[in-house]
Amino acid sequence: MEIIDGRLDVAEQHLSENCDERPNDQVDLIVIHCISLPAGHFGGDFIRALFCNQIDHASHTDFDSLRDMRVSSHLLIRRTGQIQQFVPFHQRAWHAGQSSFDGRNNCNDFSLGIELEGTDTGQFNEIQYARLGETCRCLADAYAIPVKNIVGHSDIAPGRKTDPGVGFDWARLHRLMAG
């Protein structure tokens, strides 16, 4: 696994317009999220469609609240272990929203967002952990990101966000990153 021109070589590439230039080149935070569309359902193309502004809001009642939402993440790790990339790492993806880390606001400015297909109350698959560990290790090496700067969305937006949730095993991720 390697990064070439801001893209992960093993990732299926999809272009999202929901990004822009970073205010500077600083990248020193990885934010782990989770997502499922519709809520609690896995598979399908709805997450890609959301990040690429192509979701059919009439296709499910859960999608009506997403009508004006313009979001993206750098990466999505599906339950199958497939990795999809939506935004090159040198650009700012719109994944964190109102957020703060280590006294700095607007985490999108200096972070990389990784979505796991799942829910904040469920468990994640072995293959997802394996791919996440490998990906975080690659990104941490490339951008000199310390392990303490790999956090959950709930850590940078407490009270507003709960993902990746109670079922996420941080110790497992740290073991996988260690080798």
Q: Is the pLDDT of residue 179 over 80?
A: no
Question: What are 124-151's pLDDT values in tens digits?
Answer: 999 999 999 999 999 999 999 999 999 9
Catalytic residue of the set 2, 17, 115, 134: 115
Mean pLDDT rounded to a whole number for the chain: 96
Domains along the sequence of the chain with CATH = 3-178 (3.40.80.10)
Write phi, then psi, for 16 (nearest 5 degrees): -105, 140
Which amino acid is residue 10, in one-letter code? V
46 and 37 Cβ atoms separated by less than 8 Å: yes
Under the phi-then-psi rule, with left for phi > 0, alpha for psi from -120 to 50, and beta for the rest, what region is 21?
beta
Question: What are 58-85's pLDDT values in tens digits?
Answer: 889 989 889 888 999 999 999 999 999 9
> What is the pLDDT, as a whole number, of residue 57?
85
Verify whether residue 115 is a known catalytic residue: yes
Neighbours of 106 (CB within 10 A): 15
